Structure 1
Amino acid sequence: MNNTHFTIALHILVRIALVAEKNKVITSKEIATSVNTNPVFIRRILSSLEKSNLVVVQYGTGSGWKLAQTPDNITLSDVYQAIKQKPIFDLHHSIPNQNCPIGKGIQPVLKYYYSDVEKALHSKLAKTTVADLLGETLSSQELHS
């Protein structure tokens, strides 16, 4: 996963949540304008979010994207899982020297710690929803206006 994909996915969902309050849908072009990027890139992320049942596309007149669930039911952990392609930390690309005491033992130890980091991340992300982000984002704007 590119380190910005998670951030962009959250931006997308919060933007969709904003129009969802008015029972509206939003196009990938409108989302791309908010993110300030290419609609093709936005559609790739939307595709991952759709596969995880976080968004749906509405076809026909007034077509666009909407949330598949209410914003207070979508956690940041759900979003992370939807777009995650690699673990946070990865092990060596080639197997370390198994004749070396460090080379032989380092990967199992690192797997243990890396697993703990992933669990802690998911635990933290599970405590915040898209609705929380929307509220905080709008409040933040009011403070900086």
Structure 2
Amino acid sequence: MTSEFAIAVHALVFLDRSNATIASEELADNVCTNPVCIRRVMGKLKKAGLIETREGMGGGYRIAKANSDITLRQISDALENTFVKASWRSGNPDKKCLVASGMSVVMDELVTGMNRSCNDYLERITIQKVEERLTALKEEKDNETGGCLSCQ
């Protein structure tokens, strides 16, 4: 998982719960990153139609769809995310040995399958489900005080 994916999920949940247009500086503060990272990620989410932007005074980002209509798979796709990568392949396809000549193909198939499994899993999780889990965590903490006012 990339940091961009974590930033995107965090930002979308915060935008949805805020139900407002949020500037990149405020969003960066909540995500605990810098506004440049936010703008880079949000540009990709905008291109995918997951957020809307407003320019000028009072401008910023706003979620573009219902939280139940945004899956983590859509976010991953918007970021062109790959979960598993093989940067090196053993063997050599020109060797006569079955193992040496075929291992890179088998490893590529494994990597492709792992990425497919990750994406299938993310297809079943929506921003709404992430928010429900956050609410459950809050309840598990026995109404512990603290945190930001917009989250209480």
TM range (shorter): 0.7 to 0.9
Comparing 4-13 and 79-88, the one that deviates more: 79-88
TM-score normalised per structure 2: 0.81
Question: What is the distance in 2 between the residues matched to 1:132 and 1:44?
Answer: 25
Identity %: 25
1:32 aligns with 2:28: yes
Structure 2: unaligned runs, 5 residues or longer: 145-152
Q: How does 1:14-33 map to 2 (within 5 A)?
A: 14-20=13-19, 24-33=20-29
TM-score relative to the length of structure 1: 0.85
Please give the alpha-carbon distance, in whole angstroms, between the structure 1 residues aligned to 2:6 and 2:91: 32
- The equivalent residue for 1:84 is 80
1:125 aligned residue: 122
- Which of 53, 67, 70 pairs up with 2:63? 67
Alignment RMSD: 2.2
> Would you say 1:51 and 2:47 are equivalent positions?
yes
Structure 2 Cα separation of the partners of residues 68 and 13 of structure 1: 10
CA distance in 2, matches of 1:85, 1:123: 14
Residues of 1 paired with 2:93 and 2:7: CA distance?
A: 39
Higher relative contact order (CA 8 A, sep 6+): 1
1:114 CA displacement: 1.6
On the 8 A contact 1:91/1:107 being kept in 2, the answer is no
Residue 9 of structure 1 corresponds to which residue in structure 2? 8
Task: State the alpha-carbon separation in 2 of the partners of residues 46 and 87 from structure 1.
Answer: 20
For residues 88 and 113 of structure 1, do their structure 2 counterparts lie closer, same or farther at Cα, with a shift above 3 Å needed? same
